[in-house]
Amino acid sequence: MTELAPAPSAAVAARAPRSQWRDVWDQFRTHRGALFGLLVFGAIVLFTVIGPSLWTLDPKFIAIRARDLGMGADHPFGTDQLGRDIFARMMAGGRVSLAVGLTAMTLSICLGTLIGVVAGYFRRLEGPLMRLTDLFLALPLLPLLLVMVMLFRESLARRFGPETGIFLLIVVAIGITSWMQTARIVRGEVLALKEREFVLAARSIGTPPRRMILRHILPNVLSPILVSATLGIATAIITESALSFLGLGFPPDFPTWGRLLFDGVDYLQQDPERVIWPGVFISLTVLSVNFIGDGLRDALDPRIRGR
Amino acid sequence: MLTYTLRRLLTAVPTLIFISFVIFLLLELAPGDPLADQPLTIPAEVRERMRTAMGLDAPAHVRYWKWLVQFVWIEPQVILDGWLGTGLAAGEERILSWQFRAPVFDIIWQRIPQTLNVVGIAYLVGVGIALPIGIVSAYRQYSWFDQIGTFVSMVGFSVPTFFTGVLFIVIFSVKLGWFPSIYDTTLRVTDWSSFLRQVSQMIMPVAVLALYNAAQISRFMRSSMLDNLNQDYVRTARAKGMAEGTVVLVHVLRNSLIPVVTVIALGVPTIFAGAIITEQVFKVNGLGQLLITAIQANDLPMVQTLAFVFAGLIITFNLVADVIYGILDPRIRYD
């Protein structure tokens, strides 16, 4: 018995030590769609973040003589009815759309994780919090979002200025209507984790609940949170563009991709490119984010990894 | 099962009341004034009388209670009156829309056929496409059909309907001129040519929504089939010499349809609410479009009623999905 013991540890030592994230990345790399998604999403982020410093035309600059131009060397995507450069507007719009997507996703993930962890960890709060989640799931979300945006737009715009006000409103509205799935997934994971031995061990040495959650529970529910965060970006971007498309999003001089598409619909007959560019960018972003989420789900699942 | 259904029905009542209260509060907190779009030349006392006529002078809880009574007590009586020809609700005050000056439910009944026509058919078409695609994709996993199928469903799932809709208009109405881009609601189907026109104006909205629904459902169908194809009972069925078609289409399909049927049931409320965007793109004047115009016109009774109807549909179909699940899957026992 005692002689056999060192053998497995020697075999383990022979392999170079690898971190968990290295393993995840190795698995992620095998998913072709996910790699492609990462590439496209990275390109879009670069386009919106670095693009404006290379393409210095002001997206709000009105050149009325150069209006309704088609695609050309001066204006790669043409100009709109006021002569504003659509290429520059796409960059500016992408910044806002991505910012809305990321912030709203962060808000909804934080809310969902908080509610999920609390509901899973503290038995007394589980009932009320899960009823609340069910209640939110039963709300007709798109109509309520529309109502919220319509009703509170004016007062928030007055208090924070038209741009910050509407940004806050849309981010908060999307955030508080999309946390439910995360909360449910996290609660399920926490409930399962609570029965594991390491939690029992930690509790038996007197770990207080706060440290228990932060050090032992949260790191272990990170993978489902990451996956739903990725998918959350996609839904947030779609919701924002849908609101803008219905004319209830950002004001016209503050372009987002959804708003650009909405504005382009009126000029569908003359130049359809004005609708197609924003649409293609929204779709590519969402598609790439969804593929990344798919790949991440596979990569973070230890049952699939290494196969 | 029956007790479970009854218990769920009973818990649905407080949920619905709470939701209606939340919607009411949200509308109440809103700073908008329903008389804001009236001309400024209206004298103050006339304006006051208008507020009284709209019931706005009463305190909030009175208005909420009145709306609730009208919704759950008077409106069902009106429906009964319509069916049986009785006069139960005669002289009772109904929920009035501020923009149409007519009962909210009369307008909703007018709009439902358009929504059901376009969105309902799209849902059926979507399900009809999704199921075979999901089955074949799973059965021939990693084949070229599966690769294309999963990619297309990922695309259909990611491309928002307002873009596919507009893209279809650009291609099929502007460039090719095959279909009209605007849905003509006044069209009455009386003969063959008007029927053809009805079909041609329905093709694009139905295609857009069907693509979106099919993308979602086929993903579920595929993964559910994959879960079942490797089960022991499949091997048993093959081992005792059953035809491959029977194994897949009877044994596996029946079992994998169980979760898919609940997903389909859960999607039904979106027929009514979620098609807001598609109705807006193709100018179909259904329920979604009614909601948008009501929101824009600050027509609070209409918004409140419609949002509540949508919430009621969601809760009903959640219940339906759970009950179907219990009936179809004998392993599920709720009691």
The residue extents of the domains of chain A are 90-257+282-300
Query: Which chain B residue lies closest to A237 (C-alpha atoms)?
Result: B160
Q: Which amino acid is at A276?
A: I
Residues B116-151: b if buried by 16+ CB within 10 A, e if exposed: ebbbbbbbebbbebbbebbbbbbbeeeeeebeebbe
B98 confidence band (pLDDT: 50, 70, 90): confident
The residue written with tokens 């009614």 in the block is B290
Q: What number is the average pLDDT over the span B299-316?
A: 86
Confidence class of residue A272 from pLDDT cuts 50, 70 and 90?
A: confident
CB-nearest partner of A269 from B31, B162, B174: B174
Mutation test of the interface with chain B: which of A151, A159, A184, A241, choosing the one with the most B Cβ atoms within 10 A? A151
- Name which of A147, A245, A287 is nearest B277 (Cβ-Cβ): A245
State the count of interchain CB pairs (< 8 A) between A and B: 118
Per-residue b or e along B6-35, where b marks 16 or more CB atoms closer than 10 Å to that residue's CB: eebeeebeebbeebbebbbebbeebebebe
Length of chain B: 335
pLDDT at residue B35 greater than cutoff 70: no
CA distance A122 to A127: 10
In whole angstroms, what is the distance from residue A249 CA to residue A265 CA? 15
Stretch A12-17: mean pLDDT: 60
Which of A135, A151, A265 is opposite residue B18, by nearest beta carbon? A135
Rounded to an integer, what distance in angstroms lies between the CA atom of residue A83 and that of residue A302?
Answer: 54
Residues of A in contact with B22 (CB under 8 A): 139
B93: left (phi over 0), alpha (psi -120 to 50) or beta: beta
| Confidence band, pLDDT 50/70/90 cuts, at residue B185 | confident
Confidence category of residue A23, pLDDT binned at 50, 70, 90: confident
Closest chain A residue to the Cα of B25, Cα to Cα? A148
The domain made up of A90-257+282-300 is a member of CATH 1.10.10.10: no
Residues 6 or more apart in contact with residue A194 via CB below 8 angstroms: A120, A121, A217
Average pLDDT, chain A: 81
Chain B positions touching A269 (Cβ under 8 A) are 174
**Which residues of chain A have a CB within 8 Å of the CB of B180?**
none
What digits encode the pLDDT tens for the residues A168-180? Answer: 888 998 998 889 9
Distance CA A277, CA B274 (A): 25
User: pLDDT grade, residue B36 (50/70/90)?
Assistant: low
Q: Could you tell me if A135 lies within 8 Å of chain B, comparing CB atoms?
A: yes
Is B26 in Cβ contact with A140 (below 8 Å)? no
The answer to whether A217 and A192 have CB atoms below 8 angstroms apart is no
pLDDT at position B125 is: 92
In this predicted structure, what is the pLDDT of residue A63?
Answer: 67
Class of residue B5 by CB neighbours under 10 A (exposed 0-12, middle 13-18, buried 19+): middle
Q: What CA–CA distances, in Å, run from A235 to A269, B82, B155, B205, B268?
A: 30, 43, 14, 22, 20
Range B98-113 average pLDDT: 82
Number of H helices, E strands in chain A: 14, 0
pLDDT per residue as tens digits for the range A193-232: 888 899 899 989 988 988 988 888 888 888 888 888 888 8
B229 pLDDT more than 50: yes
B267 vs A contacts (CB less than 8 Å): none
CA distance A59 to chain B (A): 23
**Cβ-Cβ contacts under 8 Å, B162 against chain A:** 241-242, 245, 258, 261
pLDDT at A269 over 90: no
Element (H, E) at B112: helix B104-115
Of A46-55, A101-110, B104-113, which one has max mean pLDDT?
A101-110
Tokens read off for A204: 């038996």
- Closest Cα in chain B to A267: B170
State the Cα–Cα distance between residues B92 and B79, nearest whole angstrom: 13
At A125, which helix (H) or strand (E)? helix A123-138
- Quick check: B248 and B235 in contact, CB under 8 A? no
Token pair in block for residue B138: 């799973």
Residues of A in contact with B163 (CB under 8 A): 261, 279, 282-283
Least confident of A41-55, A206-220, B68-82: B68-82
Contacts of B141 (CB under 8 A, 6+ apart): B226
Sign, CA torsion B317/B318/B320/B324: positive
Mean pLDDT for the stretch of residues B312-335: 81
Q: Which residue has the higher pLDDT, A232 or A162?
A: A232
A157 in reach of chain B (CB within 8 A)? no
Give strand ranges (E) for chain B.
Answer: none
Q: Which two tokens stand for residue B219?
A: 């993903």
Determine which of A94-98, A208-212, B33-37 has the lowest per-residue pLDDT on average. Answer: B33-37
State mean pLDDT over A226-243: 88
Question: What residues of chain A lie within 8 A of the CB of B159, using their CB?
Answer: 279, 283, 286-287
Residue of B nearest to A33 (CA): B151
Summarised one tens digit per residue, pLDDT across range B244-288 is 888 888 888 888 888 888 888 888 887 776 578 888 888 888 888
**Does domain B106-328 correspond to CATH entry 1.10.3720.10?**
yes
Flag if A261 and B166 touch (Cβ within 8 Å). Answer: yes
Burial profile A84-95: b = 16 or more Cβ within 10 angstroms, e = fewer: bbbbbbbbbbbb
CA distance A14 to A36: 34
pLDDT, mean of residues A17-34: 79
Region at B55 (left for phi over 0; alpha for psi -120 to 50; beta for the rest): left
Cα angle at A145 between B111 and A171, to 5 degrees? 155
Chain B residue with minimum CA distance to A240? B160
pLDDT over threshold 90, residue A159? no
Q: What is the mean pLDDT of chain B?
A: 83
Nearest CA distance, A176 vs chain B (angstrom): 14
> Which A residues 202-261 touch B at CB under 8 Å?
234, 238, 241-242, 245-246, 248, 258, 261
The percent of residues in chain B predicted with pLDDT above 70, rounded, is 94
Check pLDDT > 90 for residue A108: yes
Pick from B141, B146, B137, B278: nearest CA to B211: B278
> What's the farthest any 2 CA atoms get from each other in chain B?
88
For residue B167, the chain A residues in CB contact (below 8 A) are 275-276, 279
User: Which residues of chain A does B269 touch, with a Cβ-Cβ cutoff of 8 Å?
Assistant: 140
pLDDT(A10) > 60:
no
**Per-residue pLDDT at B32 exceeds 80:** no
pLDDT class for B37, splitting at 50, 70, 90?
A: low
Q: Which residue of chain B has the CA closest to A155? A: B31
Question: Residue A18: helix, strand or coil by DSSP?
Answer: coil
Record the tokens describing residue A154, joined without a space.
Answer: 């004016």
Q: Between chains, do A143 and B310 touch, taking CB under 8 Å as contact?
A: yes
> What distance in Å separates residue A210's CA from the closest CA in chain B?
32
| pLDDT at res. A1 | 43
- Classified as helix, coil or strand, A79 is strand
